[in-house]
Amino acid sequence: MATETGAPVDTTKTALQVTDLIKQFGGGRSLLGRPLPAVHAVRGLSFEVRPGEILGIVGESGCGKSTVARMLVGLESPTEGRITLREEPLAEPGKPIKRTVLARKIQYVFQDPISSLNPRKTIREILSAPLYYLRGMTESQRAERLKELMAAVNLRPEFLDRYPHEFSGGQAQRIGIARALAAEPEVLVLDEPVSALDVSVQAQVLNLLQDLRRQFNLTYVFISHDLGVVRNLCDRVAVMYFGRIVETGSTRALFDNPQHHYTRLLLDSVPGARDGTLPDEAANAELPDPFHPPTGCAFAPRCSAASEQCRQSDPELDTRRQDGQQVACYHPAGESAD
Ligand SMILES: Nc1ncnc2c1ncn2[C@@H]1O[C@H](COP(=O)(O)OP(=O)(O)OP(=O)(O)O)[C@@H](O)[C@H]1O
Ligand SMILES: [Mg+2]
């Protein structure tokens, strides 16, 4: 089957599966035995990505997108939950995370290209490290692969002996992408990869990502708060609110027929993303307190459709909908509150 963006996706298989992922920071007890508050950054998250697919994750600042990304690449351990790559569990309850496998198969592209590269190392040294440590390549194999990597991201091989500060933002992000590709991963987790770039450079990097996906059969998890970029690039989208997925579906379904009131709010706050009214006052309220998550739906205080039920219990993602669109809402848009 072809994706919305035209690349082949194998819908019979799963590249990456995340089940009931939870991440709390802090917590535990003080020296005197008093319980310490924990930040509930990710509060039970499940999704899967098919081979060759681009899954977009959107949501406002602080909703837990980067925390999910960091768990996917093994930089953080989940408090609970599983991460499975092609049937192989890489993080599961009660067992140590398989960090080396994670690092080889799932790679991370960071938001800020220049500061994510070590300023004291040349590009050759930066790109050689994963080839040596994760792939065990000899010096001559590394030299060959470095040339291929630079060609893949459209950079001249003589740039290899320069330092990160000698590059523009767009070039530095190409190097960040080359570094992520070095270990020949199956999945790239791209955390706001173009947010720090000028619009014209953004387009070049996004085109490069599309080309690389086809060339190397990659699967992407693409995190962004830019709905325009997500709409153009992604096959499916998951909308996060306060550490949970509140709606997911094909990009077209989600943009044409958003069911969750938060998704509507997000789309309405972007001029031209969807025909709609401007968000009302409640829409500008802040996220709930991550130290004390509410019992009910976290969006209820901002939602015009919220009922007592929404304040009492948190709805699960509803899987009954057609074409895979799922929504975690007792009163989805278009259905009246009872
Ligand atoms: N190491 C940490 N220790 C304590 N709290 C943390 C830590 N990392 C993240 N958090 C908290 O977890 C929540 C989610 O943060 P996260 O960085 O994942 O959000 P985000 O969706 O990526 O936001 P942004 O769009 O601004 O990048 C926030 O409340 C944040 O303060
Ligand atoms: Mg982030």
Q: What is the predicted pLDDT for the residue at 334?
A: 61
pLDDT band at 321 (very low <50, low <70, confident <90, very high): low
| Ligand 1 neighbourhood includes 223 CB (under 6 angstroms) | no
Q: What is the predicted pLDDT for the residue at 286?
A: 66
Which mutation among 65, 76, 266 tests ligand 1's pocket best, with the greatest number of atoms within 8 A of CB? 65
Q: Quote the CA–CA distance of 217 and 164 in Å, as a whole number.
A: 28
Q: What is the predicted pLDDT for the residue at 272?
A: 55
Mean pLDDT of the chain: 88
Q: Quote the CA–CA distance of 96 and 64 in Å, as a whole number.
A: 23
For the stretch 244-303, pLDDT in tens is: 999 999 999 999 999 999 999 999 877 655 544 444 444 556 678 889 899 999 999 999
| Ligand 1 neighbourhood includes 64 CB (under 6 angstroms) | yes
Other C-beta atoms closer than 10 Å to the C-beta of 181 total 23
Question: In angstroms, what is the span from residue 63 Cα to ligand 2's centroid?
Answer: 8
Kindly state the helix (H) or strand (E) to which residue 188 belongs, with its residue range. Answer: strand 187-191
Whose CA is closest to atom 12 on ligand 1? 41
Q: Quote the CA–CA distance of 142 and 207 in Å, as a whole number.
A: 26
The C-alpha R_g of the chain, in whole angstroms, comes to 21
| Ligand 1 neighbourhood includes 38 CB (under 6 angstroms) | no
CATH H superfamily, domain 16-327: P-loop containing nucleotide triphosphate hydrolases (3.40.50.300)
| Ligand 1 neighbourhood includes 65 CB (under 6 angstroms) | yes
For the stretch 118-127, pLDDT in tens is: 999 999 999 9
Other C-beta atoms closer than 10 Å to the C-beta of 271 total 8
| Ligand 1 neighbourhood includes 290 CB (under 6 angstroms) | yes
Question: In angstroms, what is the span from residue 64 Cα to ligand 1's centroid?
Answer: 5
Domain residue limits, the chain? 16-327
pLDDT band at 139 (very low <50, low <70, confident <90, very high): very high
Q: What is the predicted pLDDT for the residue at 320?
A: 62
Q: Quote the CA–CA distance of 26 and 28 in Å, as a whole number.
A: 7
For the CA of 243, the nearest atom of ligand 1: 14
| Ligand 1 neighbourhood includes 287 CB (under 6 angstroms) | no
Q: What is the predicted pLDDT for the residue at 336?
A: 43
Q: Is the distance from CB of 212 to CB of 152 less than 8 angstroms?
A: yes
Q: What is the predicted pLDDT for the residue at 2?
A: 54
Q: What is the predicted pLDDT for the residue at 157?
A: 93
Q: Is the dihedral of CA 167, 169, 174, 178 positive or negative?
A: positive
Q: Is the pLDDT of residue 43 over 70?
A: yes
For the CA of 69, the nearest atom of ligand 1: 18
Q: What is the predicted pLDDT for the residue at 141?
A: 94
* DSSP 8-class letter at 331: S
For the stretch 196-238, pLDDT in tens is: 888 889 999 999 999 999 999 999 999 998 898 999 999 999 9
Q: Is the pLDDT of residue 144 over 80?
A: yes
Ligand that comes closest to the CA of residue 38 = 1
Question: In angstroms, what is the span from residue 62 Cα to ligand 1's centroid?
Answer: 5
Q: Is the pLDDT of residue 32 over 80?
A: yes
Q: What is the predicted pLDDT for the residue at 269?
A: 77
| Ligand 1 neighbourhood includes 70 CB (under 6 angstroms) | no
Per the document, the length of the chain is 338
pLDDT band at 181 (very low <50, low <70, confident <90, very high): very high
Q: Is the pLDDT of residue 116 over 90?
A: no
For the CA of 287, the nearest atom of ligand 1: 29
Q: What is the predicted pLDDT for the residue at 4?
A: 59
Q: Is the dihedral of CA 323, 324, 329, 333 positive or negative?
A: negative
Question: In angstroms, what is the span from residue 66 Cα to ligand 1's centroid?
Answer: 7
Question: In angstroms, what is the span from residue 65 Cα to ligand 2's centroid?
Answer: 5
